[in-house]
Amino acid sequence: MRKKLFMCLLLLVGVYFAQAQNGIIGEKVYKTKCLVCHQADGGGVPNLNAPLDGATNVVGSDIARLVKIIRYGYNERVALDGYYYSNAMPANPALTSTEIAAVLSYIRNSWSNKAPSVTLAQVQKLLKKK
Amino acid sequence: MKKQLLLMVFGCIVGLSVVHAQENAGLKLPAGFKAHLFAENIGQARHIAITQSGVIFAKLNYPNKDGKSIIRLEDKDKDGVADNITGWANYGGTGIYVRGDNLYASSDDAVYQYKLDAKDEVLNASAPNTIIKGLLSRRQHASKSITLDPKGNIYVNIGAYSNACQEKDRTPGSKGMMPCPILDSAGGVWKFDGLKTNQTYVDGKRYATGLRNVIGLDWNTTSNSLFVTQHGRDQLNSFFPALYTNEQNAELPGETMYEVKEGDDCGWPYIYYDPMQKKKIISPEYGGDGKKEGGNNVLDPIVAFPAHMAPMSLLFYKGDQFPAKYKDGAFIAFHGSWNRAPLPQEGYFVAFIPFKGGKPSGDWEIFANGFSGLPADTKVVNPRNAKARPCGLAESADGALYVSDDSKGAIFKITFNK
Calculate mean pLDDT across residues B265-276. 97
Confidence band of A10 (pLDDT split at 50, 70, 90): low
Residue B268 counted as domain residue: no
Residue B380 counted as domain residue: yes
Q: Give the closest residue to B148 by CA, choosing from B132, B134, B133.
A: B132
Which pLDDT value is given to residue B138?
83
Which pLDDT value is given to residue A17?
59
What is the DSSP secondary-structure string of A46-104?
Answer: TTTB---TT-TTTTSS-HHHHHHHHHH-B-----BTTB---S-BPP-TT--HHHHHHHH
Whether chain A has a CB inside 8 Å of the CB on B388: the answer is: no
**Is the pLDDT at A114 greater than 50, yes or no?**
yes
Domain with B394 in it: what CATH number? 2.120.10.30
Residue A75 counted as domain residue: yes
Residue A69 counted as domain residue: yes
Which pLDDT value is given to residue A8?
59
CA B403 to chain centre: 10
Chain B: nearest CA to A15, how far in angstroms?
32
Confidence band of B67 (pLDDT split at 50, 70, 90): very high
Q: Give the closest residue to B36 by CA, choosing from B416, B411, B417, B338.
A: B411
User: Residues with Cβ < 8 Å from B386, sequence gap 6 or more?
Assistant: B336, B345, B348, B371, B372, B373, B374, B380, B407
Residue B294 counted as domain residue: no
Residue B366 β-bridge partners: B351
**Is the pLDDT at B329 greater than 50, yes or no?**
yes
**Is the pLDDT at A12 greater than 70, yes or no?**
no
- Determine whether the interchain pair B339/A33 forms a contact, defined as Cβ–Cβ distance below 8 Å: no
Q: What's the rounded Cα separation, in Å, for the pair A106 and A115? A: 10
Confidence band of B91 (pLDDT split at 50, 70, 90): very high
CB atoms within 10 A of CB B201: 17
Calculate mean pLDDT across residues B138-150. 93
Which pLDDT value is given to residue A16?
61
Residue range(s) defining the domain that contains residue A115: 43-130
Calculate mean pLDDT across residues B96-104. 98
- Determine whether the interchain pair B169/A33 forms a contact, defined as Cβ–Cβ distance below 8 Å: no
CB < 8 Å to A71, chain B: none
Q: Report the residue of B169, B170, B236, B337 to disrupt the A interface, i.e. the one with the largest count of A CBs within 10 Å.
A: B170
Residue A11 counted as domain residue: no
Look at A87-96, B90-99, B307-316, B405-414 and tell me which has the smallest mean pLDDT: A87-96
Whether chain A has a CB inside 8 Å of the CB on B341: the answer is: yes
Residue B355 β-bridge partners: B360
Whether chain A has a CB inside 8 Å of the CB on B415: the answer is: no
Buried b (16+ CB within 10 A) or exposed e, B80-109: eebeeeebbbebbbbbbbbeeebbbbbbbb
Q: Which carries the bigger pLDDT value, residue A20 or residue A69?
A: A69
Residue A100 counted as domain residue: yes
Look at A97-111, B260-274, B370-384 and tell me which has the smallest mean pLDDT: B370-384
Give tens-digit pLDDT for B168-224: 998 888 999 999 999 999 999 999 999 999 999 999 999 999 999 999 999 999 999
Residue B282 counted as domain residue: no
CB atoms within 10 A of CB B361: 13
Which pLDDT value is given to residue B3?
55
**Is the pLDDT at B418 greater than 90, yes or no?**
no
Domain with A51 in it: what CATH number? 1.10.760.10
Confidence band of B14 (pLDDT split at 50, 70, 90): very low
Q: Report the residue of A41, A45, A76, A112 to disrupt the B interface, i.e. the one with the largest count of B CBs within 10 Å.
A: A45
CB atoms within 10 A of CB B403: 31
Residue B110 counted as domain residue: yes
**Is the pLDDT at A15 greater than 60, yes or no?**
no
Q: What is the percent of chain A with per-residue pLDDT over 70, rounded to a whole number?
A: 82
In the chain, the amino acid numbered A91 is: A
Residue B171 counted as domain residue: yes
Calculate mean pLDDT across residues B5-24. 51
Residue A14 counted as domain residue: no
Note whether A54 and A39 are within 8 A (CB): no
**Is the pLDDT at B253 greater than 50, yes or no?**
yes
Which pLDDT value is given to residue B13?
43
**Is the pLDDT at B21 greater than 90, yes or no?**
no
Q: What kind and span of H or E run contains A2? A: helix A2-29
Which pLDDT value is given to residue B4?
57
Domain count, chain A: 1
In the chain, the amino acid numbered A119 is: T
Give A7's DSSP letter: H
Q: Which carries the bigger pLDDT value, residue B346 or residue A103?
A: A103
Domain count, chain B: 1
User: Residues with Cβ < 8 Å from A17, sequence gap 6 or more?
Assistant: none
Look at B120-134, B224-238, B337-351, B352-366 and tell me which has the smallest mean pLDDT: B337-351
Chain A: nearest CA to B55, how far in angstroms?
28
**Is the pLDDT at A88 greater than 90, yes or no?**
no
Which pLDDT value is given to residue B154?
98
Residue range(s) defining the domain that contains residue B108: 36-239+305-416
Give B299's DSSP letter: P
**Is the pLDDT at A60 greater than 90, yes or no?**
yes
Whether chain A has a CB inside 8 Å of the CB on B152: the answer is: no
**Is the pLDDT at B112 greater than 70, yes or no?**
yes
Which pLDDT value is given to residue B346?
86
Residue B90 counted as domain residue: yes
Q: What's the rounded Cα separation, in Å, for the pair B149 and B146? A: 10
CA separation, residue B126 to residues B87, B97, B284, B300 (Å): 11, 18, 48, 44
Q: Give the closest residue to A21 by CA, choosing from A113, A122, A120, A90.
A: A120
Which pLDDT value is given to residue B1?
45
Residue A24 counted as domain residue: no
CB atoms within 10 A of CB B382: 21
Chain A: nearest CA to B101, how far in angstroms?
32
Q: What is the mean pLDDT of chain B?
A: 92
